[in-house]
Chains A and B, each alone.
Chain A
Amino acid sequence: MADRIPASDPGLLVMISLAAGPRHGHAIMLDVAAFAGVRLGPGTLYGAISRLEADGLLAPLAMEGRRRPYRLTDAGLADLQRRLDLLDPLLATARQRVPAR
């Protein structure tokens, strides 16, 4: 029985985490574990961060010690909104077809 969100899109999870405000890598990891029950490995997390940064969806802030916070860019926020919009009809259809308990 699945009780977790599939971690098939770490980038989406990172963007959802950053939608609440700037966070550094470790804080993102803890946040994603808290809201999705998914433990992102360090390689997976920084793979997603580097990809999102290269795509201009998140931006680095000034280093805080050895940690660097990231924030969603406007493009990142728009991309996240678009992704959620794509999920809406999927969820709506699923809720129609699956009887409520």
Chain B
Amino acid sequence: MHVIARRLTIVALLSLGIIGSWPVVVASAEETLEAENIPFSFEGAFGLFDRAQLQRGFQVYSQVCSSCHSLNLLHYRNLGDRGGPDFPEMQVKAIAAMVEVEDGPNDEGEMFTRPGAPSDPFVKPFPNEKAARAANGGALPPDLSLITKAREGWRGTFRQLVDGIGGPEYVHAVLTGYREKPENVPEGPAGKYYNPYFSAGPWISMPPPLSDGLVEYTDGTASSVDQMARDVAAFLAWAGEPKMERRKSLGFRVLVYIVILATLLFLTKNRVWSRIEH
């Protein structure tokens, strides 16, 4: 009797798991595609950012994306942070000095411009939302500081537990996902591009931003569209979670500590409880 009840419970639990992992069918699911999983260096419990990749990614951001997309949560000094692109201090200063920053008011009450300093936040491409929309056919290019944490490359409760939400993969998929629209898809709005990986897609206002050889990498890496998309996705993953390396290394030490403490407590508990009948 109990054996049957227990087996039934196990069967029920398993079937709950199966229906729980059934993919959610959203209205737009037939029009948009899941991103391709990319084995980034920063995945897994011990994965770290690839410094060279982050530096290349910054190059893509600053030469291509930054003309429309802001990165409001970053300061130039962050480019020299450990656990990030780790640019040398002189280079950070040089990068910051390349932009003009509005400052003031000065003692005369006037605003003025000066060369950027590492303590400045990344300059915005547009002064306000209206200006951004006006320059982009009514569409607003989103801030990219948290884009890899705010967008999902794929769905599924268990898939996301194992593979993460696929935020960097989403960025890569959108950047490389432009194509001719299939025959059966109706014509989209004027001035929009077909991209089945775009989350609110498949029609996206952003024209294909990358083309082979667009950026000349200082480290000599061949700049294919795929390579640039991977690099900038990695850079944005760091921009969204700049303390990731610190988090993982501290986490490892905390877990080692917890395991030792748990072992000692378990032994103590057995010792203490052996004094009494239980």
Do A and B come from the same complex? no
Residues in B lying within 8 Å of A, measured CB to CB? none
